[in-house]
Chains A and B, each alone.
Chain A
């Protein structure tokens, strides 16, 4: 496999692109996909044909990773779909402010203060309770297509 042939199309600085095209037929359950300009996680893929002797098309059922809405799409399986760049970054939780923002410690020592707490009661409680108990918490922030949200929580304190 020669090197020229196989380098990624996107370079490190090309992070500006928020999505990447991928053939619909290769997208599996649990993968990501963009439907109606929203980043989603695929929960169901089924294939069918356009007419008996036509080409295959994929039927995706997916869930918006930020607002949990269910979306569906049908794409010919040889066509490309947009796949969102979904990144997750860990930050140490420093503080929870009164007005619903969190303060996070980034890797290089700065703070990140622009992230809101989730509005959902139970999620909010999970974070607040943990923090109130004085645990050392690391939150994982998921970001895709210009949106960000806390998606996981981990106690890294000593046992």
Chain B
């Protein structure tokens, strides 16, 4: 009976909760009313009912007299309470109280941290002050914890009990209560909250302590669910408290802090995790995930929130030693496994990096000990290799070094994707006593790795020890290290008063930091290190044939980092080793054996460095020296007499592809300083490219490369060109388009294999994308123009070009192809841009092309992608505005085209504009319209309404008549009235008016969506 009642309540609550409700055909605002009335009036009452139901049977359960059904009632009641606490509470006035809780957080350590629990799909619980009596003051918590503890005691010998419904739901409820926060706690400096957390901790600690016994029990088959729940509770606590408070929570119960407990637990988990002798123990990976998340939470903060006691630091240090040692052991054991089959600890690189990042945070909490520890381990392994004399198989040591390089890289540097990389704070601020460069642990560690890497230059050492995999780690490490420590920006600024190492002058409190930042600086060994690194890169590119992964790391990570900062480049181009690299690239054959894509990246990097020359002419000459041989060679090939016969041979195709990739790389690196020489480079090959395009019309790979080169070339150059240069470029592009289109219009490829057929389709799609990008790039000339002077007489009409280009490209684009998201994105970007900037040109397009554009717009407006819809709306806006303005001025505007009605399926029976008007209103009213599009929808709707006043009125009438509910009908009518008549809207298309209409539509949508949206 009770059980049935509870399941009734259960389904009631889930129905009212928006995420789980079933559709019942009622407007949205009705649902919202229900939601809040449920929350305010009933939810707490339900909770209390369930609570008393649980209380009633609890005594029996405790004294073991309960029958099965009573136990079931209890567990269901608890589960229901958990469900209630998962409610998405809205009325809690947390937004209002934000300011006060923020100011509090500093003083007593409770932090209102939102969203950090997301990773495990749990949320913070903020029911608001109304719930105070139900959850806090009535001793509810204490009862629940005691109840669980007693029942647990009774069943301590029963391994299966931990997974019984009663145990699971009781624990779930406890964990959920752990994340209780917000205004439910009175403002008493967090006292109540801390008490609450301590209370839970005192119970939860039983679940996880002592760590070694627990993990032993788990290994022998006990269910892990209790321990995992315990970890989740700890995670909630860590999220809600400052690091210091978190540590102190345990001190009233144990002689040590929470961090110490956490460290011991993590040690156990890591040790189990790396052994991983069979597949059954998957719990260790889940447990490790939660553990590391806790560490990331407590150590990833900055400033006051993250202060750790000395005890905490030493725990972290011990933990890190355990981590490294167990991983090294695992590495050594796995060294002979096949790479492809089982990688012992990572599923994917990003997941591995996440784990290593968490390890690194732990290490950085105790830099004073962990960095020297790493140095010691590294030198031991290094020494082992040097003494080896080829008698022993070094593979295990290599794998250990591999792992050490990875973890050291993570400890010393941040990944800094997309931002300026700084030396991690913990490392900057640590080692306060160190003033001598050679004693600074980080410097010692860095040197030992660099000198290890240097060994790879020796062919004998390289062949014996530097396996591709080890070299990958070396290159990866160097890339990150260079980005962080080589000639760092801080040091470059601080260099003004060159006090160097004169620590005697002033007892600087941060002299250790200074030493750290300057040891690889511009005036120290920075240049030597740079030289070594370039030589190592050369080695990987030339001495590891076919090792694509290694070479990719070198080109994409390491070399790119070297040219990223200008002050490093200045040193770079002066180095003999760099010049060797450039010479090899320009004049020798060796680097052609690299993967073509890597050659592109190499070209880009090499050209990038040109920007560091002081003198413009030197920069350009450098590029000419670099790329001259490529253009000469390409011209040479294309003018051969026997070209036709030779060109189709595989080696010729390969060579041409490499050259094109290199040219493309160079043009991607175009900068104002090198623009001139790159343009010369492009001009030199223009004719050859046209010849090659003709010749290789059936080699889609080459065609694609040609197109991509031109795309990048135009993108880099177009803004700088003078009128004359522009016309050269534009004429070239037009010729290119014509040739391409003459080869591809009407072509059908035939193939037996469906996968080859779809490959051919994909190739076509990629080509078209490139063409669209090309047109878009040419367009940008009208918007961004840096050329020094513009002479009108000579200037080309960009619009004219686009006009021709569009005629060429549109027939190739089918609605089928527009289903590719990237292509349709590019296409609509181009169309909306064109219509906005040159509506008159579009109006002149021939009928076929114009219809095509309109049809694609129709397709795009109903697209899923917000971006595309936005672009289409902008295009429609441009079209309608143009028409309206022209009509006002007494011209014909879109004229006959606007009335085109030959479409047989009836869709286009009316004029195009009225068609769009109808479509748009449909979209706004009846479909799930996204509010972020309201602005552009308003912009499109306004001119449409102005153009087609009559139709608009008719439409509104139609819609109103269809509505049967009189209340909604009046609301809708007044909303429509307000849309066009408030805010002094007039019938001109100026900015103010548009703005007013935007506002009106916003109001309209908010009003209408409440009752028109049916859920």
Contact = CB atoms under 8 A, between A and B. Distances in A.
A85 B648 contact: yes
A151 B470 contact: no
Contact of B646 (A11, A26, A66, A127): A11
Contact of B759 (A5, A41, A49): A41
Interface stretch (A53-61, A98-106, A108-116): A53-61
B159 to A, nearest CB: 39
Nearest to B393: A53
Given A3-B636, A56-B549, A26 B753 contact: no
A156 interface: yes
A50 B546 CA distance: 13
Contacts of A10: 646, 649, 651-652
Which one of B334, B337, B548, B587 has the greatest number of beta carbons of chain A within 10 Å?
B548
A53 B753 CA distance: 38
A48 interface: yes
Which one of B547, B548, B650 has the greatest number of beta carbons of chain A within 10 Å?
B650
A96 interface: no
A140 B698 contact: yes
Interface in A30-67: 30-32, 41, 43, 47-56, 58, 63, 65-67
Chain A at the B interface: SS class? mixed
Which one of B546, B632, B646 has the greatest number of beta carbons of chain A within 10 Å?
B546
A56 B548 contact: yes
Contacts of B698: 87-88, 90, 140, 142, 152
Contact of A49 (B340, B630, B749): B340
Contacts of A76: 546
Interface stretch (B308-316, B593-601, B769-777): B593-601
A87 B547 CA distance: 30
B339 A51 contact: yes
Contact of A47 (B467, B548, B636): B548
B748 interface: yes
Tier of interface size on chain A: 35 or more
B160 interface: no
Interface string A62-81: 01011110000000111100
B470 A26 contact: no
B430 to A, nearest CB: 34
Interface string B701-724: 100000000000000000000000
Given A1-B632, A30-B759, A49 B751 contact: no
Contacts of B654: 22, 26, 83
Contacts of A12: 642, 645-646
Contacts of B763: 30
B649 A153 contact: no
Contacts of A65: 756
B747 A154 contact: yes
Contacts of A30: 700-701, 759, 763
Nearest to B644: A12
A2 B652 CA distance: 17
Contacts of A85: 648-650
Given A30-B763, A52-B337, A52-B395, A155 B746 contact: yes
Contact of A8 (B468, B652, B747): B652
Given A43-B759, A49-B468, A85-B648, A120 B752 contact: yes
A134 B548 CA distance: 51
Interface string A130-142: 0000000000101
Given A5-B589, A54-B467, A85-B650, A25 B755 contact: no
A17 B99 CA distance: 80
Given A54-B467, A126-B748, A31 B340 contact: no
Nearest to B658: A26
A123 B757 CA distance: 12
Which one of B629, B700, B753 has the greatest number of beta carbons of chain A within 10 Å?
B753
Contacts of B749: 151-153
Interface residues of B, number: 59
A12 to B, nearest CB: 4
B398 interface: yes
Contact of A55 (B399, B468, B750, B755): B468
A48 B340 contact: yes
Contacts, number: 175
B274 interface: no
A106 to B, nearest CB: 14
Contact of A53 (B335, B594, B636, B751): B335
B417 interface: no
B689 to A, nearest CB: 18
A153 B630 CA distance: 35
Which one of B549, B596, B645, B698 has the greatest number of beta carbons of chain A within 10 Å?
B698
Contact of B751 (A8, A68, A79): A68
B655 interface: yes
B750 A126 contact: yes
A78 B550 CA distance: 13
Nearest to B700: A30
A55 B701 CA distance: 29
A126 B749 CA distance: 10
Contact of B650 (A1, A20, A126, A155): A20
Interface string A142-155: 10000000111111
Contacts of A26: 546, 593-596, 654
A25 B747 contact: no
Given A30-B763, A52-B469, A151 B750 contact: yes
Contact of B546 (A9, A56, A63, A88): A56
Nearest to B593: A23
B338 interface: yes
Contact of A67 (B339, B586, B752): B752
B750 A153 contact: yes
Nearest to A78: B546
B65 interface: no
Contacts of B701: 30-31
Contacts of A48: 339-340
B362 to A, nearest CB: 26
B545 interface: yes
A25 B749 CA distance: 29
Given A26-B594, A56-B547, A51 B587 contact: no
A121 B85 CA distance: 64
Contacts of A155: 746
Contacts of B756: 41, 43, 63, 65, 68
A65 B760 CA distance: 12
Given A1-B587, A30-B701, A41-B759, A22 B750 contact: no
A68 B755 CA distance: 9
Contacts of B595: 25-26, 28
B633 interface: yes
A92 to B, nearest CB: 14
A78 B755 CA distance: 28
A22 B597 CA distance: 16
A65 B549 CA distance: 29
B8 interface: no
B336 interface: yes
A53 B672 CA distance: 45
A22 B395 contact: no
A78 B339 contact: no
A23 B752 contact: no
13 contacts: A8-B649, A8-B652, A24-B546, A26-B594, A28-B596, A41-B756, A43-B756, A47-B548, A52-B395, A53-B470, A63-B753, A78-B547, A123-B750
What 10 A-B pairs have minimum CB-CB distances, sorted nearest first? A77-B546, A68-B753, A25-B546, A78-B546, A88-B698, A53-B467, A1-B629, A12-B642, A12-B645, A48-B340
Interface of B: 334-340, 395, 398-399, 467-470, 545-550, 586-587, 589, 593-597, 629-630, 632-633, 636, 642, 645-646, 648-652, 654-655, 698-701, 746-753, 755-756, 759, 763
Given A30-B701, A152-B750, 12 more contacts: A8-B651, A25-B547, A25-B595, A41-B759, A48-B340, A51-B336, A51-B339, A52-B395, A55-B546, A67-B752, A77-B546, A151-B749
